[in-house]
């Protein structure tokens, strides 16, 4: 790869990491707002059901955010003609973003630095989701500690 392309590719990676982190921040902030609004002093089985539904909805909401972010990466791959079709771009994006990385589909050699950026981005944003869920579950006092 030409060394003149490296700063350009790193700039694309940085812009994508910033954009996907912003999107994820919006989703986490929205989930936190809904979670705060849903809190009440329920007891017993009704509380159990409410907590379970809230946790399921938050997980689905965050997975939707991840799907959008994978789609954003796929959009970059398509914009720069790295893949011939959207299916391959989305497949590669999901495999890289989740750090699964089968290796059956690869970026062109001159763009391969984006593979690592996609994986690092996904790792950090899944970590952010996990931290948010851990905090939310703790506030729900799963395991029996009642407010």
Residues 44/144, Cβ–Cβ less than 8 Å: no
Q: Is 107 exposed, middle or buried (0-12, 13-18, 19+ CB in 10 A)?
A: middle
Considering the segment(s) 5-139 as one domain, its CATH architecture is: Orthogonal Bundle (1.10)
pLDDT reported for residue 147: 47
Interatomic CA distance for residues 26 and 47, integer angstroms: 27
Domain ranges across the chain: 5-139
| pLDDT digits 0-9 by tens, 29-47 | 999 988 877 766 777 888 8
| pLDDT digits 0-9 by tens, 118-127 | 999 999 999 9
The arithmetic mean of pLDDT across residues 66-92, rounded, is 98
Whole-prediction pTM value? Answer: 0.88
């Amino acid at each position: 790869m030409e060394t003149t392309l490296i700063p350009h590719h790193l700039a694309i990676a940085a812009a994508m990491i910033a954009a996907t982190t912003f999107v994820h921040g919006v989703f986490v902030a929205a989930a936190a707002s809904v979670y705060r609004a849903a809190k009440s002093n329920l007891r017993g089985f009704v509380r159990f059901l409410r907590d379970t539904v809230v946790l399921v909805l938050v997980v689905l909401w965050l997975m939707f955010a991840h799907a959008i972010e994978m789609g954003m990466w796929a959009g970059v791959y398509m914009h720069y003609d790295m893949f011939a079709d959207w299916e391959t771009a989305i497949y590669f994006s999901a495999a890289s973003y989740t750090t699964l990385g089968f290796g059956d589909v690869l970026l062109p050699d001159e763009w391969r630095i984006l593979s690592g950026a996609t994986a690092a981005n996904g790792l950090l944003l899944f970590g952010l989701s996990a931290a948010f869920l851990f905090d939310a579950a703790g506030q729900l006092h799963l395991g029996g500690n009642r407010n």
